[in-house]
Amino acid sequence: MSKKTKQNIIALVYDFDGTLSPGNMQEETIFKYYGIDKKIFWAKSQKLVHEKGYEQTLAYLKLLITDPAFKKRPLTKPMLQKLCGQVPYYPGVAEGYFEQLERFMRSVPEVAECGIMLEHYIISSGLKEILDGISIRKYFKKIYACEYDYDHGKPVFPKLVINDTNKTQFLFRINKGKLALSESINQHMPEEERRVPFRNMIYIGDGITDVPSMTVIDKAGGNAIAVYDPCRRVPRKVKTMVAEKRAQHFAPADFRPDSLLVKILHRTLKKIIYSIAYRSSSDRSSDWVQRHW
């Protein structure tokens, strides 16, 4: 028997570095705390990739355990959670963006009529311990990022690695409502039973690393927005993404009210809200006809 769901949840899914925050979270927190030169660190990481065949994300996660600075003074969970205060945000992110979107949702009558809810998610190749401590943590239903297993307070092995392509796994977790990593997402689930259909998703990312996620979202009828640093000219990578139609919209990462990005978000949200309301009235009318057959 079909377990048809209301499909009235809208998910906003964000990359983190370069999307909600300028730069790179490891550089802003760990490197500054340890006095590490980012060029040297990333060169070592690339060396592991090119000389030993390491996957990009695993290479940096290995160095954060085995590099001499971390051997001498290992990272700890409490240290990472303390360092999260150093993470900067793009304009508006920590200054009312989430509340403003909630107000916008309340201003559209169909939201209350159809019980539509908005949820926020992060999928990042950065570190979960840092993201769990950020000041905007409370707005997110779930954050997926790289995680270590700790033994006696020291990271011993990465227990979850998130890179460009396996980011898409987490889109399917949100889609099927199977958010816990222990839940398998491989079984078939009919479209009408999925908690958040892709057409109700908006993915926001900043670069080539987001292309696999944007492609999945786009092909499945969802919405992808590419953002770039508002303080810089449009970077070449974004021009390429525009030319290759990797996203439906492009905007500076400015989350303040009346910015281009927020206007695009409002329009996209309205499109999704009206589509949910339209489907809901279509379902109600066919129910009515069946009852009066």
Residues of this chain that interact with Mg ion (CB under 5 A) are: 15, 17-18, 206
Which lies closer to Mg ion via its Cβ, residue 111 or residue 217?
A: 217
Which lies closer to Mg ion via its Cβ, residue 15 or residue 119?
A: 15
Which lies closer to Mg ion via its Cβ, residue 30 or residue 238?
A: 238
**Phi-psi region at 115: left, alpha or beta (left = phi > 0; alpha = psi -120 to 50):** left
Which lies closer to Mg ion via its Cβ, residue 16 or residue 148?
A: 16
Shortest separation between residue 208's beta carbon and Mg ion, angstroms: 9
Residue 201 contacts residue 175 (beta carbons within 8 Å): yes
- Chain position whose Cβ is nearest to Mg ion: 18
Q: Which residues contact 274 (CB under 8 A, 6 or more apart)?
A: 110
Which lies closer to Mg ion via its Cβ, residue 114 or residue 227?
A: 227
Pairing of strands 140-151, 9-14: unpaired
Residue 242 phi, psi dihedral angles, 5° rounding: -65, -50
Shortest separation between residue 179's beta carbon and Mg ion, angstroms: 22
Which lies closer to Mg ion via its Cβ, residue 44 or residue 237?
A: 237
In the chain, the DSSP E strands lie at 9-14, 117-127, 140-151, 154-160, 201-205, 223-228, 249-252
Q: Which residues contact 287 (CB under 8 A, 6 or more apart)?
A: none
Shortest separation between residue 137's beta carbon and Mg ion, angstroms: 18
**At 206, which amino acid appears?**
D
Shortest separation between residue 12's beta carbon and Mg ion, angstroms: 15
Residue 200 contacts residue 11 (beta carbons within 8 Å): yes
Which lies closer to Mg ion via its Cβ, residue 29 or residue 280?
A: 29
CA distance 164 to 289: 47
Residue 227 contacts residue 204 (beta carbons within 8 Å): yes
Shortest separation between residue 163's beta carbon and Mg ion, angstroms: 12
Look at residue 36 and give its three-state secondary structure.
coil
Shortest separation between residue 241's beta carbon and Mg ion, angstroms: 12
Shortest separation between residue 210's beta carbon and Mg ion, angstroms: 6
Question: Long-range contact list for 187-191, CB < 8 A, 24+ apart?
Answer: 190/2
